[in-house]
Amino acid sequence: MSLLLILLSGLLLGASLPPNTLGPLEWVALAPVFLLARRARPLAAFLAGVGVVLIAASTLILPLKTPEEWGNAGGGCLMFALLIGWACAWAASSRTASPWRWTVLVAASGVLGELLVQWLFPVYVAMGQWRNPMILPVASVTGAWGVSFLLYAFNAALALAWLRFTDRERSPGRLQDQPEARWLAACLLSLALLHGWGAWKESRPIAGKALRVAAIQPGSEESLPLLREAKARGAQVVVGPELALSEPLERDLKRQWVPGLYQVIGYESATPATGLPENLASVVTPEGRLLGRYSKMHPFGTEREVHQPGKKADSVMTPLGRFGLAICYDTMFTDTLRLLTRHGAQAVFVPNLDPLSSRGALHAFHAAATVLRAAENGVPVVRSEWNGYSMIVEGGGRIVSEVGMKTPAIVTGTVHLPDSPGTLYTRAGDVFPPLCILALVLLVVLEVREDRLQARPQLTETTGGEPGPSPPAESGPR
C-alpha cells in the first residue's frame, strides 16, 4: 500500500508541474504521500517524499542525455525532492495533532523548505499553478509562498479526511460529524472563495496605458528578420535574448537594430583591466541611444566564474513608460522584480538564456517562475529566450502570448502599464515565510506543553494523587 501511495503522488505531481499542463491535479497530488506520512516515522516519511519526486521527475525531465542536463535538470529535481521530503518529515513528526494544527504545521514547513532551498535552486510547488489566473492573485498579497501554502494545506486536509474515511471501524459515526471532514469542508470553502476572488479580478478590465510589445526567439537564426516582423506587427518595444551582443556594441547594433523601435538587448561587457566582465541589459531608443545599464544580480551555477554579479536594480524612464530590466535567473528569485517595481517600473523586460534540458523542462519551470513574479508585483513581464518559452505576461499573471520549444519564433501582444505599480506584496516583501516559521515554533511549543500536561495525570495516579512517603518495596517476584 505504501508503494502505491508514493507512486500515485509521484504520477499526479509529475502531471501537474511544468512542462506538463494538468495543474489542477496538484491540489490532490500530495495527499497520498501526506496520508502515508501521517502514519510513518519522520525518516521513512522523508524517503517517501523523495521517492514521490523521483517518480514525478520521470515524467518531467527524462531522458537526460548529457552531463549538463544531469547537472541542471537533475539538480533542480534534487532540490524538489529535498523539499517534498522535508514537508513529509514534518508531517510525520506530529501524528497526533488536531486537524487544523497538523494542516498548518505541514503547510508552514513546506514554505520554510522553499525558503531554505531558495539560494541553492529556487523551486516552489506554486509553479504548478502558473496557468491558473484565478489563484495567482493570492501572490499579490503573500508572494508565491502563499500559493504554495494553500497547496500544502489543502493536500494535508484531504489526507486527514481520507485517513478518517478509511478508518471508520476505530471512529464510528457519520463521516460528516468527524472533525477531519469538517476541517476539509472549511478548506474547500476557503479555496472556493479565493478562486472566486481571482475570477472576479480576472473579469475586470485592466487599467493602465496599453503598450504593444514583442519578444523574439531566434534559436540559431539571425535576429534581424524577427525584429522587422515585430515592428510590422505594431510592436513598440521588442526584447531580445540574453548575451546576444557584446561590447563594443557599434558593430552588433548596426547588424541587429531597427530604426523607430525600442529594443531591449542582452550583451556582455568588455573585459575590464581587473575582474570579470558583466552580463548586461540595456534599452536602445529608436534613435540608437542606450538607456540604462543593468548588470545581472543572480548568476546561475558556474556563471560566477565568468561574469561578476550586479548589485543594483533600477528602472529606466522612457517616453513610453518606466521600464525595469532583469536577466534570466533573476526571475527565479523574489527580490529583483520587487526592487524594480519599488523603483517605479511599470513593466519588466527579461533577456533570457536557459540551459537545454530534456523536453524543455528547465525552460518551462523558469517560465512558470516568470508568471509568479508578474502576479506578485502586478506588472507585465516580457521574456525573450533563445530556444523556448518566450512569453508576454500581463500584470496579474495572465499569459498574453507564448511560444514553446520552437525556433525561430516571435510573440507579440498588448500589456497595460499600471499608473501606480506595485502590490501589497511589493510593499511588504517576504514577510510570509517568517510568519510560517513563527507558526511552526508556536505549534511545536504548544504540542510539547500538551504532552507534558498529559503526562502529569499519569504521574499523579501512580503516586496516589498526594505527595508523601514512597510505599515500601515489595519483596519477591511480581
pLDDT at 467: 55
Give me the phi and psi of 99, to 5 degrees please: -55, -50
Residue with cell string 535538470 = 73
User: Cα–Cα distance between 96 and 111 in angstroms, integer?
Assistant: 22
Contact 57, 14 (CB under 8 A): yes
d(CA 245, CA 349): 16
Type of residue found at 127: M
What is the rounded CA–CA span in Å between residue 312 and residue 314? 6
Laid out side by side, the sheet with 347-352 consists of: 315-318, 321-325, 347-352, 381-385, 391-393, 399-402
Q: N- to C-terminal Cα distance for the chain?
A: 42
From residue 457, alpha-carbon distances to 446, 450, 463, 464 in Å are 18, 12, 10, 10
Q: How far apart are CA 436 and CA 421, in angstroms?
A: 27
How high is the pLDDT of residue 178?
77
| pLDDT confidence of residue 477 | 42
Q: How far apart are CA 269 and CA 296, in angstroms?
A: 11
CA 453, distance to chain mean position in Å, is 40
Q: φ and ψ at 349, to 5 degrees?
A: -115, 130
Q: For residue 464, what are the contacts with CB-CB under 8 A and spacing of at least 6? A: none
C-alpha cell at 51: 521517492
| Model confidence, pTM | 0.91
SS (H, E, C) the chain: CHHHHHHHHHHHHHHHCCCCCCHHHHHHHCHHHHHHHHCCCHHHHHHHHHHHHHHHHHHHCCCCCCHHHHHHHHHHHHHHHHHHHHHHHHHHHCCCCCHHHHHHHHHHHHHHHHHHCCCCCCCCHHHHHCCCCCCHHHHHHHCHHHHHHHHHHHHHHHHHHHHHHCCCCCCCCCHHHCHHHHHHHHHHHHHHHHHHHHHHHHHCCCCCEEEEEEEEECCCCCCHHHHHHHHHCCCCEEECCCCCEECCCHHHHHHCCCCCCEEEEEEECCCCCCCCCCEEEEEECCCCCEEEEEECCCCCHHHHHCCCCCCCCCEEEECCEEEEECCHHHHHCCHHHHHHHHCCCCEEEEEECCCCCHHHHHHHHHHHHHHHHHHHHCCCEEEEECCCCCEEECCCCCEEEECCCCCCEEEEEEEEECCCCCCHHHHHCCCHHHHHHHHHHHHHHHHHHHHHHHHHHHHHHHCCCCCCCCCCCCCCCC
Q: Among candidates 355, 352, 388, which has minimal Cα distance to 373? A: 352
Query: What phi and psi, each to the nearest 5 degrees, are found at residue 344?
Result: 95, 5
Amino acid at 208: G
Q: Burial, 451: exposed, middle or buried (Cβ in 10 Å; 0-12, 13-18, 19+)? A: exposed
CA 219 – CA 407 distance, rounded (Å):
5
CA 295 vs. chain centroid, Å, equals 23
- In tens digits, what is the pLDDT along the chain, a chain of 478 residues? 799 999 999 999 999 999 998 999 999 999 999 999 998 999 999 999 999 999 998 888 777 777 777 777 777 788 899 999 999 999 998 877 788 999 999 999 999 999 999 878 899 999 999 999 999 999 999 999 999 999 999 999 999 999 888 765 455 555 555 788 889 999 999 999 999 999 999 888 888 999 999 999 999 888 999 999 999 999 999 999 999 999 999 888 888 889 889 999 999 999 998 899 999 999 999 999 999 999 999 999 889 999 999 999 989 999 999 999 999 999 999 999 999 999 999 999 999 999 887 788 889 999 999 999 999 999 999 999 999 999 999 999 999 999 999 889 999 999 999 999 999 999 999 999 999 999 999 998 888 887 777 776 655 555 555 555 555 544 444 3
CA 438 – CA 443 distance, rounded (Å)? 9
Which cell numbers in the block locate residue 118?
531558495
For strand 409-417 and strand 381-385, is the pairing parallel, antiparallel, or unpaired?
Answer: unpaired
